[in-house]
Amino acid sequence: MILRLLPLALFVGVGFFLYRGLSLDPTELPSPLIGKPAPEFVAAPLEREPSDASAEAVKTALGEDGFDSAGMRGEPWLLNVWASWCGPCIEEHPQLVAFARASDVPVVGLNYKDDPADAKAWLVRHGDPFATVLSDAKGAVGLDYGVYGVPETFLIGPDGTVRWKHVGPMDESVLRDDLLPLVATMVGGEGL
């Protein structure tokens, strides 16, 4: 009797895992950097002056040699990896613009494997939510952050650790349900 039920039990068991697998996306990999210190880097900004006058941390970080990520300590910040040749970046851009308006958290753009002239033209056309945009023409910074596709977004805490990563374009629900609540816990002083 047990033996008769065995094929059915096996089927149900395997079927359960296959069903779960339908909703898993192998292109969205969990980042091994979560909870670890954000890799420090120095990169050249597209524009010498930060576009957002109120981003103090960004002004500190922008030194003689360029943008030094270590200078962002003390404040949470968003690192958004994008490129002018990236289609989904256009989808996500309104969310970034909305976020930059709604929040005091500076949004730093990492222009990945792109031409600075193309990048500037793209920002003029689609809007500019970035406190500053850094040029990563060879993708070296991206390599350290484990970037394998564009767009990707990192939330880095005031202590310099990576708190959150999102692969792919962010839509409204990601902003509302994931990013903004997380930012609220950090800005409230608990992250310091």
Partner 1 sequence: MTPRKHRCLRTFLLAATLARGLHAFPGMPGGIVADASAAENVVAFERDADRVRYERLLHDYRCLKCQNQSLADSGASLAADLRVQIHDRVVEGDDDAAIDDYLVSRYGDFVRYRPRFAEKTAVLWLGPFALLAIGLGAGFVMARRGTRTDAAAHAAVSAAGPSERGRLEEARRLLGGTGAVDVPTVAGAAPRGPPADALP
**Which residues of the chain form contacts with partner 1 (CB under 8 A)?**
3, 6-7, 10, 26-27, 29-33, 113, 139, 143-146, 148-149
Token readout for 99 is: 């976020």
Minimum gap (Å) between residue 81 Cβ and partner 1: 12
Minimum gap (Å) between residue 59 Cβ and partner 1: 29
Minimum gap (Å) between residue 32 Cβ and partner 1: 4
Taking the least distance from each CB to partner 1, the nearer of 32 and 181 is: 32
Kindly provide the residue ranges of all beta strands, DSSP E only, lying in the chain, ordered along the sequence: 42-45, 62-63, 66-68, 77-82, 107-112, 132-136, 152-156, 162-167
DSSP string, 90-121: HHHHHHHHHHHHH-SS-EEEEEET--HHHHHH
Taking the least distance from each CB to partner 1, the nearer of 93 and 165 is: 165
Minimum gap (Å) between residue 150 Cβ and partner 1: 10
Taking the least distance from each CB to partner 1, the nearer of 97 and 137 is: 137
Report residue 165: phi and psi, to 5°.
-135, 140
The 3-state DSSP class for residue 111 equals strand
| Residue of 99, 108, 103 lying closest to 184 (CA atoms) | 103
Taking the least distance from each CB to partner 1, the nearer of 30 and 189 is: 30
- Structure letter (DSSP) for residue 34: B
Alpha carbon of residue 81 to chain centroid: 6
Minimum gap (Å) between residue 128 Cβ and partner 1: 26
Taking the least distance from each CB to partner 1, the nearer of 8 and 53 is: 8
Task: Give the separation between CA 153 and CA 169, rounded to whole angstroms.
Answer: 8
Minimum gap (Å) between residue 25 Cβ and partner 1: 11
Taking the least distance from each CB to partner 1, the nearer of 61 and 150 is: 150
